[in-house]
Chains A and B, each alone.
Chain A
Amino acid sequence: MAAHTPWQRNRALAIVESYRGQRGTLLPILHDLQHEFGFINDEAVPVLAQALNLSRAEVHGVISFYHDFKRQPQGRTVVKLCRAEACQSVGANRLVAHAERRLGVTMGGTSADGSVTLEGVFCLGNCALGPAVMVDDQLHGRVDTVRFDSIAGDIR
């Protein structure tokens, strides 16, 4: 996982600036901020509100609506387990239980050492090769417990 930089107001403003002249840019900006800093810092809210001429409540409302945008730092590696129907049909629920045990975190949680966040998602578009798991941007298919353990073994 790419290392994230600590919050810098100037960097955030530069990201906002890079979208100048385009419309409806709050989501792309939030994606970029999260990519840069690892999560959406509270301090970003007033910065975005002012730069985009929105109220803080509006910015806040958008951040909280979308599952992707996180208000707290995430683990260095983010493991997303598919919990949707096609993966259920080949044992996704069992895999969830196994993953929680193996990583020592519950779904939605981050390990105490900050190494890994475990998240449930609905469908990764790999429904013929389930259970599907995404580790950062890397997709894995047919993840049984053995395969999961080998993936988990690479997490630092």
Chain B
Amino acid sequence: MTEAMTAEQITLYVPRDAAALSMGADKVAAMLRIEADRRGVDVRIVRNGSHGMLWLEPLVEVATPLGRMAYGPVTPDDVAGLFDAGFLEGMAHPLCHGLTLEIPYLKNQERLTFARCGIVDPVSVEDYRNHGGFAGLERALTMTSAEIIAEVTESGLRGRGGAGFPTGIKWKTVGDAVADEKFICCNADEGDSGTFADRMIMEGDPFILVEGMTIAAIAVGAKQGYIYIRSEYPHAVATMREAIRLAYQQKWLGHGIHGSTHSFDLEVRVGAGAYICGEETSMLESLEGKRGTVRAKPPLPALEGLFGKPTVVNNVLSLTSVPVILARGAKYYKDFGVGRSRGTQPFQLGGNIRHGGIVEKAFGITLHELLYNFGGGSASGRPIRAVQVGGPLGAYLPPEHFDTPKDYEAFAAREAMVGHGGIVVFDDTVDMAHQARFAMEFCAAESCGKCTPCRIGAVRGVEIMDRILAGTAPADKQLTLLEDLCEVMADGSLCAMGGLTPMPVRSAIKHFPEDFHRPAAAIAAE
């Protein structure tokens, strides 16, 4: 290092996102500190969120006059070499990817919800403000409830939790309800395998959720909100709680929000390891301190929700889409997307994929573009044989369907669903009969137990799949039995847990029939 360098403080960024931590980000940050001290250079290490290029984690960035330079994936052993190469001045190194924002994966996205994620210090209100944060809320504070709801309705925003219900219409129902008390409940249960966008935004830009929920509260007249976060996300819980504490401190929560007459209290509640608690009525039961059994609808939670009061239940990604809609206007948001799927969705590439992470794009992008242009194909280098889209209740699709555009209706037409935007990739070593069995096993393990088609049906489904896998009974007969069972589950279940478990099963059979006709010898492979 030159003498001049020590005079000026250099800012480094090392993510605090759980995925980055899982690859050793804390150790890298500690090593950067040690090495900087040893060399007498003054560095400031900001623990940012992740940019969502997860294969590069831990991704270390250096602030340079040209912008932030990216180095990754960095291990503690790489640190001394990075200093030697002059990375503090943005010099070349085998791990250097150039300017972060110029990396094609990031550059080619349309980031509305994730615009700040990875860029800001997640627990700095000042940083949030400096990057356009709370502009949506400030505008909302000048509007009537009806105007806010109209803006959200006009944007075309649909629920990102899975069902795709128009958010504005839900809010209007709650807003129109007359009650002494109303609630905003954020569904941060994110139980679907292959999804992690809720977690990442809560860890990387938590104030956006505070802002979105506060706007919802003002729109419908709620004074209390809860964020229900699954217990598997301890880092998200901690970051969210810290953000809420800071928001209270700086008058963005509590009495008289930002000098207005509005009040809103917000609290994090932690789940307890039950997938079904992502279903909204089960979540409400859980928030009330009860078993997470699903409630029959009607009544809608919008009218009789938490503690029997009108309640908005929205997914994290729905609520975090709201600030930009208010800040930039409904039209701006609506101009992204296709058909009746407006705006953007942070898609999540997971499983056997080379470049896994967050890809926020307008609806309309095809699976193929996501898998190959962004994802770079499978991690194993083998051909991709199947993807499961939309979580454990979503369909398995073969390459022939990779031209499907991300659009609620286009997916429905192919007996599939967009869901929460998760895409799980399998290479050609996958055994689709095993995946079908797992879908049933998962349903049996996670059923709330309220209705027979789901509770018992899933157990029967596992048994049938075991016979198919063993090759001990004629496959055709077993598949007929399985189809009958799927029909009963799809038609007779109270909620989508039992109702949609047939989707992965049927799609696996339909698109990969060869995996279901097994020779008896297959027993040996078990």
Contacts and interface: CB of A to CB of B under 8 A. Distances in A.
Interface of A: 23-28, 30-31, 52, 58, 61-62, 65-69, 80, 84-90, 121-130, 132, 134, 137-142
B274 A67 contact: yes
8 contacts: A30-B272, A31-B272, A68-B231, A84-B194, A88-B438, A121-B273, A123-B191, A123-B232
B290 interface: yes
Contacts of B380: 90
B194 A85 contact: yes
Interface of B: 18-19, 21-23, 54-55, 57, 190-196, 199, 231-236, 269-275, 286-293, 307, 348-353, 356-357, 379-380, 388, 392, 422, 424-427, 430, 435, 438, 442, 445-446
A66 B232 contact: no
Contacts of A31: 231, 270, 272
B351 A130 contact: yes
Given A61-B291, A122-B193, A23 B307 contact: yes
A27 B286 contact: yes
Contacts of B54: 128-129
Contacts of B425: 89
Q: Most B CB atoms within 10 A — which of A27, A88, A140?
A: A27
A41 B295 CA distance: 30
The 8 closest A-B pairs by CB, nearest first: A128-B356, A127-B350, A26-B289, A84-B193, A66-B272, A67-B273, A141-B22, A89-B351
B232 A124 contact: yes
Nearest to B504: A85
Contacts of A87: 193, 351
A65 B274 contact: yes
A28 B286 CA distance: 10
B195 A127 contact: yes
Contacts, number: 156
A127 B273 contact: no
Given A25-B289, A68-B231, A140-B22, A85 B352 contact: no
Given A86-B193, A139-B21, A27 B270 contact: yes
Contacts of A84: 193-194, 392, 442
B381 to A, nearest CB: 13
A35 to B, nearest CB: 11
A125 B272 contact: no
Contact of B348 (A127, A132, A138, A140): A127
B199 A85 contact: no
A122 B191 contact: yes
Contacts of A67: 272-274
B279 to A, nearest CB: 14
Given A89-B351, A90-B351, A126 B18 contact: yes
Contacts of B195: 123, 125, 127
A85 B22 contact: no
Contacts of B445: 122
Nearest to B292: A65
B442 A122 contact: yes
A24 B350 contact: no
B232 A121 contact: yes
A2 to B, nearest CB: 13
A25 B357 CA distance: 35
A27 B430 CA distance: 39
B270 A28 contact: yes
A86 B289 CA distance: 31
Nearest to A142: B23
Given A27-B289, A127-B193, A127-B196, 11 more contacts: A23-B288, A62-B289, A69-B272, A80-B232, A86-B422, A89-B425, A122-B392, A125-B233, A125-B236, A139-B18, A141-B19
Q: Most B CB atoms within 10 A — which of A30, A125, A137?
A: A125
A18 to B, nearest CB: 14
A24 B289 contact: yes
Contact of B190 (A28, A68, A125): A125
A8 B309 CA distance: 37
Nearest to B441: A83
B488 to A, nearest CB: 24
B348 A85 contact: no
A127 B191 CA distance: 12
Contacts of B199: 125
Nearest to A120: B445
Contacts of A134: 232
A141 B234 CA distance: 16
